[in-house]
Amino acid sequence: MTSIKQSLISTIKLVVSSDDTKRDFLSRVQKENVSREENPYTHFCVYFAAYDNFSNHVFIGHHRKSGLWLFNGGHMDKGEQPLEALEREMMEEWGSVQKYRNIPSLLTVTEIEHPDRQICRFHYDIWYFILLDMNKFNPDENLLGKEFYQIGWKTMRNAKLLTNDPNTKIALTWLENF
């Protein structure tokens, strides 16, 4: 069985990303304790950003905890591989696991700027972009309501107007050029 450390190193090396970002990720992996349970200050997360390439829409929401417009995602739990976290988070937020590519598309480091609300300082985000048909995608609204004030399909233009999180903007630009 592959260790979490080895799995993360392999995953990071597969993603097309800046050398600085890869270096930051690889440096953080070497410190181990990559889950929130093991290190509440800096840990790894997965994002799963749903998009409909045909209609040029993304599935994005106003996140309750952060107050930001974000894609779906969450923290890796202790002992989880990135793909295990991805599938668990899909089940927790959508109520189903959707088809995805095993290789993530983007890496970002998010500085958390709410010391009054949480002790977390940095998220090492692994992004998976999930191609869906917006007319056939039916996530569980009750599950989504636990995480988001509102969520739904937005045009790329509207999503960009709603978003002020720098890494979500990077993800939107990535999707626009995909």
Q: CA gyration radius for the chain?
A: 15
Return d(Cα 74, Cα 107) in angstroms, integer: 14
Residue 16 burial class via C-beta count within 10 angstroms: exposed 0-12, middle 13-18, buried 19 and up: exposed
- Number of domains, the chain: 1
Average pLDDT over residues 46-64: 98
Q: Looking at residue 79, what is its pLDDT?
A: 94
78-115 confidence digits (pLDDT tens): 999 999 999 999 999 999 999 999 999 999 999 987 76
Give the CATH number, domain containing residue 60.
3.90.79.10
Q: Above 80 in pLDDT, residue 178?
A: no
Amino acid letter, 75: H
Domain membership of residue 118 as a residue range: 4-176
Q: Above 80 in pLDDT, residue 43?
A: yes
109-161 confidence digits (pLDDT tens): 999 877 677 788 999 999 999 999 999 999 999 999 999 999 999 999 999 99
Q: Looking at residue 115, what is its pLDDT?
A: 66
Q: Looking at residue 83, what is its pLDDT?
A: 96
